[in-house]
Structure 1
Amino acid sequence: MPSEYQDDNSYLPLSYETAEVLAGLVSPLDTASLERYSVAELAAALLIQKIPALSRANRSAAGVERSLAEMIEIGRQLEENQKSSFSGLVAQKFSPPLFGQGLDKLRSLSIQLLPKDDVEEADFLTAEGAWDFEFRHRYIIRSNPYTESFLTADEQEFFLTNPQSRIFQLFRFENDEHMNLQALAGTGKTHMIETLLASLSHWNPLVLAYTSVQLDALRARLGPALKHGKTFGSLAIDLLEQDRTKPNRQAGYRGKLSYQLSDEVAAERLGFQSVGNISPTRVAQICRRAVISFCNTNADEIGEEHFPPLDLSFSALDWAVLVQYANQHWQQTIEPTVSGINLPIRGYHRIKHLSLLPELVLSKFYTHVIVDESHDLSAPMLRFLDRCSQPTYTLGDVCQRLEGMAARRGGHIRQREVSLSVRAGKQIEEVLNPLIQAHPTASVAPLVGSRHRSTRVSYYDRPAVPDRPTTILVKSEWGLFEWFQRLSKGGAHFSLLAGAQKNFRDFVLSCIELYHFGTPPLHPKLFRFSSWESLAEFFEKNQAFRNIEAMLKKGYNSRDFERSLMSLEQNGAAPIQLGRVEDARNMELDSVMLTPDLLTPVKKNDVTSASRTFSALYTGGSRARFEVIVPGYLRDWALDQTIKK
């Protein structure tokens, strides 16, 4: 049995589709409502109803299976003797509310329902119609997607799925060629990286990741096999700062995320003057945004095309001055020539700077480059990698590019796809495939869910606090703030995902201080707004923001927030987890709820906004292994956005 595939679950002969129907029945039941179900299905339904009691009694998995076998035997005897029907007996004892409670507890007891096809096949019964105690072992072997066996360079055996094996065969015989693997969520990208590293154990491959969180997760998963790993930003910093004859490339404290500088101070230090009718501070803000836009392109210098849309009229001379100021802002950020300006410098600045210096390439010490989550690669980072001599293997999923459109590798690079999920069941297709189809920049094959896994899809009309362990995913800090208050007010036991914890308190307090006292915010997401009015104008179409604003109008203050903060479980082990999609982007979660703020309307022909919206929904939904909870109108909403596209 391959180590990648572990299955400690017990299985009940009932599908989630049937379970949802049974949970929706209304007592009292008549026999006719249950006659279409088999003895095994009805026995499983009765057992699920008793799960809370069995859980309190600490009944083992083997004990639960014996109880199921006994119920099936009772049903079989009743049907064979024709004294009474088993469905009639079940109708008397069945309680939809108790059944629903038991259904919610299955996952915590490592009990799974079977896919509909497997229930119909009824391989879990012997020829006589009794429960087959060998079924679980047989089913796990049959369900194992890792069927293809290979040996590493050290003669260690490993296993791959059939689609993965085809990719690996290509790599094994041509490991000096570049390759891009488009792999949908849950198809085993990390396992493929593990396989590549094992096959290159006698070489020096460098693994690159977008964030330190991603890199740490890879190190935890891969262990000593990951000998050399860096983030995109740390690689750029290492290469830029290795030349000690260029001290102005040393970032120092300017490179810390906590270091900020207002646009007003930046304008003063850079000597910016008014342009047209806009103030120096506004000029600095516009130029800063132009620099950020420039850092995500392959342009060699900043031009008018990098500036944000402006509802202002500029003369040709005004534009020339703005472009000059933006390039000055850029140059004084990456290699300051004047002391005392001290503009903040971020990872995207360093990566762009690196891409513009053709003499800087990757050390020959590294023999191969493997890029995890390559959809996060910016165009400048790809430009750098393409000029390096090492063969580069990029593994990613364009549908998970949360920042908009993903940069594409050249047409000469080998392109391959994997779409068979090893994480979620076929039910997930009804949630994710409409999003994949509607995504404006992702032309990829639809996801194929695992035939032997079950993933429960639940729909809601109005969002409510889940009554079972679930991770709630929102779009932004506004949704995070709104749901934090909702959970706190509802007395829920909840924690924030690690990524959400980092600046959440600062964000909320900055909002409160800005609203009540006009204090300029320091939080990176609020820093550019000098007044609440400008903030409200920017987010006026954001429902979560409007809900927060309404709360502030009623007097919500920092003391209220601190009291709510006391209800947060700091150990991260609460049954309800809350975070943004970006906080969960590299996680596998048992149960996921997507909130309505993720379904924001997309403007017609706004490809970037549409890409971000669909990527966030897809990324959030694809984190789920066993259950995904989504708005009931998701499919119709996706279709509507597709029509707009």
Structure 2
Amino acid sequence: MTDYVLYLPISEAQADLLATPSVSARETFERWDTHELAAVAVIQNLPALAGKPKSSMLIEKGIADLIAVGADLTDTHPPGTFADLIAQRFNREAFGRGRRLMSKLQIRFLDAETIDERNYLVGRYWDFKFCRRHSERLNPAKEVFHTVSGESFTLSSQQARTFRVLQSEPDESIHIQALAGTGKTHMIERLINTLTNCRPLVLAFTRVQLDALMLRVGVDRVSGMTFSELANYVLRRDPSKPYVDPGRRAMARHQVTPEDVASRLGFRAISRLNPGQVASACAKMVSRFCHSSESTIHEGHIPKLGFSLNTVEQAVLVQFANVLWNQTTEPTDPRFDLPLRGYHRIKLMSLVQDALIGHEYTHIIVDEAHDLSWPMASFLDRCPQPVISLGDACQRLDGNVSKRAGNIRQREVTHSIRAGRQVEDVINSLIEKNPLFQLGSLEGNSDKDTRVVYYDRADIPTSPTTILVSSEWGLFEWFQRLAKAGASFSLLPGAVTTFRRFILDCIELFNSQARPTHSALFRYASWDDLHADMDLSNMSFHRIDRMLRKGYSAKDFEASLLALDASGNAPIKLGRVVDAKNMEIDTVMLAPDLLGDVRPGDRIATGSAFAALYTAGTRARHQLIVPGYLKDWASDMSRKAKKSGK
């Protein structure tokens, strides 16, 4: 490979034209110049050159030789001779195969303006210095910085402006809103290298995110914690009360049924709610409270029940929810044994006014800060250390976007380093239509090609592709579909751990009404309860429902499981958006279940749907495959979200 991209003097639009079966190649070639015809021949022959020693040199020599042949034929033969030769040898299928190899071989098209400028020619012949020159011109990372040790690194102009602010005022808090692919992690690395005399604490939402970041940072003086680990650390330091380690109560698999919660805490029936349903409602109230900026549980946290409660009934439900909160976070009886999740601990930490991060840390750096809950953000804003947070509100998958305090400095980075300009139309439709905020539009990288392909029907891909779905239901549906088709596929690592448990729990719940253990199903005591809770627009669920009603069994699932490639190296990969959050993927296909429906006025659900599509779409480096109606869907959902003031 060369250390620069090889640019061929033909545009993507011209290549698209040749891919259309109804277009006559001979008539098209008659209108094209010699260099464009030479590029067609080179692309068609890429499969024969790929993998050969020094293939990049051979390919560039090929374009140079063909342009020279075309120029010489122009001098000695009638007009159109070179076009006839290329047309006689043109093979549309071979051209398509060669085109699919271009990104792998670091070969790109030129835009129409650059083709018209003809800076790739010296006279009538190929300029071997052009590609390096053009790569340097397009490369957005042009601004050079130096570390204390004398090493140098480059940043884009937007990154550089933000970085200079960090350098000039390292002891001031700041929040950087940086769109996907703009180099947040790269800036964190460089920032830590700059803070040579400091002891930073790096925070991230999940252990996977944190481990990946710490591996890239690779500096011994830097410590790292997840948000939940930080809550444990802070609560242990609180001198006002002894902190009881949660033990197994903090394990994700530790569950207590609503009926058992009601029995242990003495909940009684309220209106039409039996004690178990009261416990379920209280759990939702506590969760809402934990993800809010409020200091007490009140009537506003009561979920929709399908009927009204009078004032007394509401007060009793609030009282029970407070009992659940108190016995979860500071139990008076260990026999209650209630699950204690990370969001419980983070909320408790935010309510302890004297709780702070110790002075052993001089700076707090938050990666993927869009995952901060309101309590976590408010806690960090009161810490004495400068807090530097980098995140992207467009990636908040639950739609509950938190904000740093109003007095915190804000900066915005919108220039993508990862994706080409072709994705702007798709991604910006999701940014601009999001009802939860207003942000600057994504600017793609002119130095990258990220092809966008629209589909009318979601067929199984024929080339290496990662299919991203919305939820476990989409995962179940596509798993069964790929297995039935005999496709070679594997699951993304994040989807592997609980996938089998989810499927078997579904089958058990449908057949024997057995209480599931999977967290996505645990609250349902019967398949009818689950069915009633599912929106009509969730087509993946309803397809699974029909499959189970036709007799799909655990034996059928285990047979399909044999089709799964356990090595993870299969050409087709399948996962949820949440499984791919911090990944960069060559080719991404957005499954149709990502484009669901939302209730009128539900801005949070709409924002969540937009976030899933945006997060999935911005994982793509070379190709993004999307439903053809995506932009129309985004406009419709945006209008629908504004119909009432929810």
User: TM above 0.5, one fold?
Assistant: yes
**Cα deviation code 1:199-222 (max 9, x no counterpart):** 112101111111111111112222
Corresponding position: 1:340 with 2:322: no
Compared CA separation, residues 61 and 102, structure 1 to 2 (3 A)? same
Counterpart Cα distance in 2 of 1:546 and 1:252: 39
Q: What's 2:384 paired with?
A: 389
Q: What's 1:611 paired with?
A: 607
Q: Which amino acid aligns with 1:636?
A: D
Matches within 5 A, 1:141-290: 141-224=136-219, 227-242=222-237, 246=241, 249-290=244-285
**Contact residue 474 and residue 598 of structure 1 kept, 8 A:** yes
**Cα deviation code 1:152-189 (max 9, x no counterpart):** 23333222111111111112111121111111111111
Q: What's 1:530 paired with?
A: 525
Cα offset, 1:248, TM superposition? 5.8
Give the secondary structure class of the aligned counterpart of 2:336. Answer: coil
Cα offset, 1:402, TM superposition? 0.6
Deviates more, 1:37-46 or 1:371-380: 37-46
Give the secondary structure class of the aligned counterpart of 1:103. Answer: helix
Q: What's 1:632 paired with?
A: 628
Corresponding position: 1:13 with 2:30: no
User: What percent identity do the matched residue pairs reach?
Assistant: 47
Corresponding position: 1:553 with 2:549: yes
Cα offset, 1:113, TM superposition? 3.0
Q: What's 2:373 paired with?
A: 378
Give the secondary structure class of the aligned counterpart of 1:150. Answer: strand
Q: Which amino acid aligns with 1:489?
A: K
**Cα deviation code 1:327-350 (max 9, x no counterpart):** 000111111012200000111011
Corresponding position: 1:124 with 2:120: yes
Q: Which amino acid aligns with 2:385?
A: Q
Give the secondary structure class of the aligned counterpart of 1:254. Answer: helix
Compared CA separation, residues 507 and 115, structure 1 to 2 (3 A)? farther
Cα offset, 1:592, TM superposition? 0.8
Cα offset, 1:69, TM superposition? 2.0
Aligned length: 638
Counterpart Cα distance in 2 of 1:257 and 1:80: 76
Q: Which amino acid aligns with 2:634?
A: A
**Cα deviation code 1:564-619 (max 9, x no counterpart):** 11111112122111111111111111111111111112332211011001111111
Cα offset, 1:95, TM superposition? 2.0
**Contact residue 590 and residue 626 of structure 1 kept, 8 A:** yes
Compared CA separation, residues 519 and 9, structure 1 to 2 (3 A)? farther
Q: TM-score of the superposition, structure 2-length normalised?
A: 0.95
Cα offset, 1:384, TM superposition? 0.8
Q: What's 1:3 paired with?
A: none
Q: Which amino acid aligns with 2:325?
A: W
**Contact residue 174 and residue 388 of structure 2 kept, 8 A:** yes
Q: What's 1:459 paired with?
A: 454
Deviates more, 1:70-79 or 1:253-262: 70-79
**Contact residue 489 and residue 564 of structure 2 kept, 8 A:** yes
Equivalent position to 1:418, from 413, 416, 424: 413
**Cα deviation code 1:472-503 (max 9, x no counterpart):** 11111111111111211222221111111121
Q: Which amino acid aligns with 1:581?
A: V
Q: What's 2:300 paired with?
A: 305
Cα offset, 1:298, TM superposition? 1.6
Give the gaps of 5 or more residues in structure 2: none
Give the secondary structure class of the aligned counterpart of 1:362. Answer: coil
Q: Which amino acid aligns with 2:544?
A: I
Cα offset, 1:320, TM superposition? 1.2
Equivalent position to 1:100, from 93, 96, 99: 96
Deviates more, 1:238-247 or 1:342-351: 238-247
RMSD between superposed Cα atoms in Å? 1.9
Counterpart Cα distance in 2 of 1:110 and 1:424: 14
**Contact residue 584 and residue 623 of structure 1 kept, 8 A:** yes
**Cα deviation code 1:68-123 (max 9, x no counterpart):** 22222222223333435222222222222221122222233333333444334332
Counterpart Cα distance in 1 of 2:211 and 2:153: 23
Counterpart Cα distance in 2 of 1:453 and 1:506: 40
Corresponding position: 1:597 with 2:593: yes
**Cα deviation code 1:414-460 (max 9, x no counterpart):** 11111111111111101101111001112111111112222111010
Q: What's 1:88 paired with?
A: 84
Corresponding position: 1:440 with 2:444: no
Q: What's 1:496 paired with?
A: 491
Q: What's 1:64 paired with?
A: 59
Compared CA separation, residues 333 and 597, structure 1 to 2 (3 A)? same
Counterpart Cα distance in 1 of 2:216 and 2:111: 29
Cα offset, 1:365, TM superposition? 1.2
Compared CA separation, residues 51 and 78, structure 1 to 2 (3 A)? same
Give the secondary structure class of the aligned counterpart of 2:192. Answer: helix
Compared CA separation, residues 246 and 147, structure 1 to 2 (3 A)? same
Deviates more, 1:112-121 or 1:367-376: 112-121
Compared CA separation, residues 304 and 65, structure 1 to 2 (3 A)? same
Q: Which amino acid aligns with 2:627?
A: P
**Contact residue 375 and residue 396 of structure 1 kept, 8 A:** yes
Equivalent position to 1:52, from 24, 32, 47: 47
Q: Which amino acid aligns with 2:472?
A: E
Cα offset, 1:516, TM superposition? 2.0
Compared CA separation, residues 639 and 332, structure 1 to 2 (3 A)? same
**Contact residue 249 and residue 334 of structure 1 kept, 8 A:** no
Counterpart Cα distance in 1 of 2:450 and 2:32: 21
Q: Which amino acid aligns with 1:55?
A: A
Q: TM-score of the superposition, structure 1-length normalised?
A: 0.95
Compared CA separation, residues 225 and 43, structure 1 to 2 (3 A)? farther
